[in-house]
Amino acid sequence: MILRSSRATTGLVLVASALAGCSPADDAGVAAAGHSHAGGGMVSMPVGDGTRVSEVGYSLGGLQVRERPSGIGEVRFRIDDHDGEPVTDYVEELTKELHLYVVNDDLTVFRHLHPTRAEDGTWTAPFDVPDAGGYRVLTEFVARDEGGNGDHVVLGRRLALPPGDPGDTVAGDGVVGVTVLQAPTTGPNGLLRLVVRDAEGQPVDLGTYLGAYSHVTGFHEETGAMVHLHPLDAPDITEDGSELSFHADIAQPGDYRLFVQVRVDGFLHTVPVELTVAPSA
C-alpha cells in the first residue's frame, strides 16, 4: 500500500493492512548506553538517522529494484559488515529482524515494510510506488555482534524509481485523525503528545500494531533525517480523544512530517501529521 496525501496539519488516511509485534515498554526503560533485550545481551541506542549509507561498520549494499510478472516491483538489498560480508545474524526488534521504509523526496509517499531474508543475507520485499522520481530507502535493524550484543543501526540510500501501479494509493477519507497536543523540543528529554479521534471527533479504541499502540516514523523536511517513536504507555482516553505520549530524543530542530500508524477496528491507519521541533532552551 502507498500513502499519498496533501500537507495538512491533521492528516486523514486509511491504509488497510495488518501486521503484529513488539512491547510498548521497550522504549520506556532505555538507559543511556543501551537497553537489555530478550535472549540476553545489550542493544545499543540507535546509531544513524537514515541519511548515510554506512554507520559504525555496517553498510546498505546491493540495492536494486526488479520488475516482477505480477507488475509489482521487488526491492532487493543486503546489509554488509565492516569486512564487506552480508550480515545474517540479527536480534528481533519490534518482532522483526529488519524494518524497511521507502519515502519519496517530497514526503507524500511512505511505505513501512518487513522484507524476507534469504540464507545468503539478501533481503527482498514486494512493493510499488505511484510516481516516478527520487526516493530514499531506509533500513532499521539490530545486528548481533560477536559478543552477543546488538548494534541498533539506521541506514539509508537514495534510489530513482520508475512509475508503478497506483491502484494501492489511498486518499484521505476522514476515518481517523491525529492532532499534535504537545510538540517536543530537541534533546534527550523531549515529549511528544498526540491525540487520535474518529471522524466525529470522538476517542477511538486503539489496537496494537507491532505490539505497540502506535508507531511514529518522521522525517526532517530539509535534511531527511528519520525519527522513529513508540508510545510510553497505553492511550489515555479523555474528552479530547485517545491521547498518546512518546519519549522523543530528536537532535535537529525544524519541520518534520510524521507518519502516525495506529490500528482501529482491525485496520491499520497511516496518518500524516506536520510537526515543528523547536530548539531546547
Query: What is the rounded CA–CA span in Å between residue 47 and residue 153?
Result: 5
How many CB atoms neighbour CB 252 within 10 A? 14
Task: Give the whole-angstrom CA distance, residue 230 versus residue 115.
Answer: 21
Dist. CA 224–CA 158, nearest whole Å: 11
* pLDDT for the residue 212: 92
- Assigned fold of 170-277: Immunoglobulin-like (2.60.40)
CATH code of the region 32-168: 2.60.40
Lateral strand order in the sheet of 236-238: 176-182, 187-198, 241-250, 236-238
Model pTM score? 0.83
21 band by pLDDT with thresholds 50, 70 and 90: very low
pLDDT at 39 over 80: no
pLDDT value at residue 9: 34
Question: 221-251, pLDDT tens digit by residue?
Answer: 999 999 999 999 999 999 999 999 999 999 9
pLDDT, position 204? 94
Output the CA–CA distances (angstroms, integers) from residue 9 to 112, 166, 209, in the order listed.
Answer: 21, 25, 23
Q: Assess contact for 160 and 255: CB atoms under 8 A.
A: no
Query: What residues does each domain of the chain span?
Result: 32-168, 170-277
Bridging pattern class, strands 58-66 and 54-55: antiparallel
What are the distances in angstroms from CA 229 to CA 38, 170, 243?
A: 20, 24, 15
The secondary structure of residue 31, as a DSSP letter, is: B
70 versus 42: the higher-pLDDT residue is 42
Q: Same fold for the domain at 32-168 and the one at 170-277?
A: yes
Closest CA to 110 of 54, 153, 50, 152: 50
Residue 2 has pLDDT above 50, yes or no: no
Q: Quick one: pLDDT at residue 211?
A: 85
Cell of 177: 485523525
Q: Is residue 220 scored above 90 in pLDDT?
A: yes
CB atoms within 10 A of CB 125: 18
- pLDDT classification of 4: cutoffs 50, 70, 90: very low
Residue 16 to residue 224: CA distance in whole angstroms: 26
User: Do 129 and 104 contact (CB within 8 A), yes or no?
Assistant: yes
List the beta bridge partners of residue 246.
Answer: 192, 231
Query: Is the confidence at residue 180, as pLDDT, over 70?
Result: yes
pLDDT, position 227: 97
Among 23-32, 94-103, 148-157, name the one with the lowest average pLDDT. 23-32
pLDDT at 161: 77
For residue 20, pLDDT beyond 50: no
pLDDT in tens, 203-215: 999 999 988 999 9
Residue 171 has pLDDT above 70, yes or no: no
Largest CA distance in the chain: 56
Q: Is residue 8's pLDDT more than 50?
A: no
